[in-house]
Structure 1
């Protein structure tokens, strides 16, 4: 087994024995452990391999005592300086091939600093945060965002070693060591075009067959769960150049963002592919509903709407004509910005498994109003293909792949012919 280096992000001014234990445990596994100390409150119990003074200087403050003063009066500035400095140092280590995985351990401050640094690192690089905050729903979304950061809930606070904490720290070390030992690296190479697909359970009868149809045509399909995070992450990966095309079955993030639903996906839905100049086929699945489960304000606001109750957390209410027309305007604006071939595929018999005849959210009048508005606003060169089938069906998946394949061929031809 090749020896790897695991970077431990630490605040050694408030915790010492815990990090010493973690470092020694990693080394006992045959790997190198490098302690990066971002301490900003007081003198550390012992020096890190990368000291808090080095971190402070890299962040722009040459005197660590200045950081400690700021910590008392303007804590955010002190924290930002240490994050900036640590990120610069870690990126240099990465560039030099001197780090293969990153482990953070601690509570609120450590989780914030460590995960912010981790977010700057490449997709696929092992990143693990062992934290007493990992079970807190209000914070975890902020710590992880759309990045591939693994959170381990220590349950107890990371303060002084005890048998319960030791068990969790051993688990954390085992996890990060396993990751670096098995990691194939993060320079991923593809020998075929990679195509993103948005998916969720209410459209799976179309999504699952489309994966096989794409493979048959020589593509590598990558489904992205459109629950507000997965589709947001997809848009980020599009802008980073990971994908060469998109079949966007589930554009629900547009409506969720507009109406403040549980699955809001930011303002880049559809736009990322348009501005990145890659072909896309877009469908309206998920625009027929708004996710309100667990949100008392939304549940009360939409109490008079038809709703589908999946479980306590997944309650979907039907979207109204006026809202859908607003969504159509947003979608049209973003598709009109496309620098590559794009098209809309319109299923005439419903948009999701909840939008079928006899189901709670079935409303063909509202669906039609959305599509009429969209057609009126799209550029003439962007086709809308009506298909007399339901979206949640294998046939729709096949139609989407066929249409995408045509657009992709057009795109390749245009690229080869040059500007």
Structure 2
């Protein structure tokens, strides 16, 4: 029988011993996972009878620092404990000795546990702060994660990240249709879609840093606008940096850079009340970026991309027909002059680099633009569209269901493929 996955329970055993042991018992009672306990107590002293119960399960990296910790303020203790225990958790995760992490601690223990979850565990690793029904939840999450790891080890395909927003969803759907095979088949390309809502951009950047992404279609860079102009969906000042630093293939566009995101309309800052505002829904209000703001967005993008040591691995696609669903003819954010300023800033700013800037007459959500984006990515990756389509055509045994997009790709790659 295969070894059961192990869940790391983080607890302050000097104050939450009974809760920690109860959680351990509940997890073991599921019969699917083993446990280890990380004691992060300020006064890490566990009774002998408890040690006997836990035996090899107990990890106590703070024990040898007990005297020092007891003299610190609570805040300093938390900082010190995080610095000591984070590398311990990292080693457990990297060595595949633990497969999920859970805690039912109080406020101090929660600060510690969530720091380990954030800093020591990768994106997608099962993490849970709970009070009740948590044992079943963390067991289920851990089993699913371990199964996904097994599947990932078997898969040999390239992992491509794509950024999306509601107003660029058709573009992403078109790209996915081109780069992936039909649902009943296996493709050499696994696509990860990240919603460009701040947390999505940060998650993608982290996965790239961890080496878990092989190429990026950064179609939707709207988080830059929020970062620069006070929107609520910013991904931080380091957005766009990870892929550039790694030197992986990048196709970047300016999707949804025509907007800054705010909450309900009455939360829009007073200084913006007279701007071109669009109520997307009761919880989201969009503000159209101006010509000057688009220049600043372009400068931000240029400065990030020019730091690349592998500029030939970057291509920028600029859709002159519009950069979002509401930036086209008869839509409220259509402003060709503002878009032109964004495109000019990027084009001029990269003119002395080896980064290729390609301007398309299409709208970002047009199928033809999706074809162009995919062609550029495959070109950087050294895969000819013809080669790619033939490989996937054989895999799918001539069974296609991609409609107009497929036909566009057929034409672009000059492949004669029989209908199903």
TM-score using structure 1 length: 0.79
Where does residue 175 of structure 2 map in the other structure? 210
Q: Does structure 1 retain, via aligned residues, the 8 Å contact 2:255–2:323?
A: yes
* 1:392–1:44 distance in 2 versus 1, CA, 3 Å: same
Q: How many residues align?
A: 366
Q: 1:265-284 to 2 correspondence within 5 Å? A: 265-284=235-254
Q: In the alignment, does 2:111 pair up with 1:108?
A: no
Tell me the secondary structure at the aligned position of residue 103 of structure 2. Answer: strand
1:382 aligns with 2:355: yes
Structure-2 change in CA distance of 1:13 and 1:296 (3 Å): farther
Match of 1:406 in 2: 379
The whole-number CA distance in structure 2 between the counterparts of 1:367 and 1:389 is 13
Of 284, 294, 303, 1:324 maps to: 294
Give the match's secondary structure for 2:192: strand
Change in 2 beyond 3 A, CA 1:312/1:106: farther
SS in 1 for 2:38: strand
CA contact 2:128–2:138 (8 Å) conserved in 1:
yes
Q: 1:20 to 1:272 in 2, by over 3 A?
A: closer
Contact 1:6–1:32 (8 Å) recurs in 2: yes
Counterpart for residue 83 of structure 2: 84
Structure 1 match to 2:406: none
Alignment partners' CA distance in 1, 2:205 and 2:137: 29
Residue 14 of structure 1 corresponds to 15
Q: 1:39 touches 1:52 (CA, 8 Å); kept in 2?
A: no
Return the alpha-carbon distance in structure 2 between the equivalents of residues 239 and 83 of structure 1: 22
CA RMSD after TM alignment: 2.7
**3-state SS in 1 of match to 2:283:** coil
Matched, 1:127 2:92: no
The one of 250, 268, 271 equivalent to 2:220 is 250
CA separation in 2, counterparts of 1:17 and 1:54? 17
**Conserved? CA contact 1:341–1:410, under 8 Å:** no
Query: Any idea what SS the aligned residue of 2:318 has?
Result: strand
Partner of 1:313: 283
Q: How far is the alpha carbon of 1:295 from its aligned partner?
A: 8.4
The structure-2 alpha-carbon separation of the partners of 1:101 and 1:312, relative to structure 1 and needing over 3 Å to count, comes to: same
**CA offset at residue 250 of structure 1?**
0.3
Q: 1:204 to 1:63 in 2, by over 3 A?
A: closer
Contact 2:319 2:363 in 1 (8 A): yes
Over 3 Å counting, the alpha-carbon distance change for 1:36 and 1:242 in structure 2 is closer
The CA deviation at 1:36 is 2.1
Report the Cα offset of residue 124 of structure 1.
4.0
Tell me by how many angstroms 1:312 deviates: 2.8
- Residue 30 of structure 2 aligns with which residue? 29
Q: Is the 8 A contact 2:36 2:57 kept in 1?
A: no
What is the CA distance between 1:406 and its match in structure 2? 1.8
Cα distance between partner residues in 2 of 1:281 and 1:102: 36
- How far apart are residue 267 of structure 1 and its match? 2.4
Q: Offset of 1:41 from its aligned partner? A: 6.2
CA distance in 1, matches of 2:101, 2:37: 10
Structure 1 counterpart SS, 2:381? helix
Cα contact 2:163–2:196 (8 A) shared by 1: yes
1:250 alignment partner, SS class: coil
CA drift of 1:37 comes to: 1.9
Q: Tell me, in whole angstroms, the C-alpha distance in 2 between the residues paired with 1:18 and 1:268.
A: 39
Q: Equivalent residue for 2:135? A: 173
Quickly say closer, same or farther: Cα 1:397–1:29, change in 2 above 3 A.
same
Which ranges in structure 2 are unaligned for 5 or more consecutive residues? 182-186, 385-420
Residues 277 and 285 of structure 2 are in contact (CA less than 8 Å); yes or no, is this contact kept in structure 1? Answer: yes
CA distance in 1, matches of 2:257, 2:328: 14
**Superposed structure 1 runs of 4+ greater than 6 Å apart:** 41-46, 50-53
Is 1:368 the counterpart of 2:330? The answer is no
Deviation string, structure 1 residues 354-394 (Cα, Å, up to 9, x no partner): 21222222211111111112211113433322222211222
User: Which residues in structure 2 correspond to 1:51-62 (within 5 Å)?
Assistant: 54-57=60-63, 62=64
Give, in whole Å, the separation in 1 of the partners of 2:86 and 2:212.
23
Q: Contact between 1:308 and 1:354, CA under 8 Å: does it hold in 2?
A: no
Where 1:365 maps in the other structure, the secondary structure is: helix
Does the CA contact (< 8 Å) of 1:336 and 1:379 recur in 2? no
- Is the Cα–Cα contact under 8 Å of residues 205 and 239 in structure 2 kept in the other structure? yes
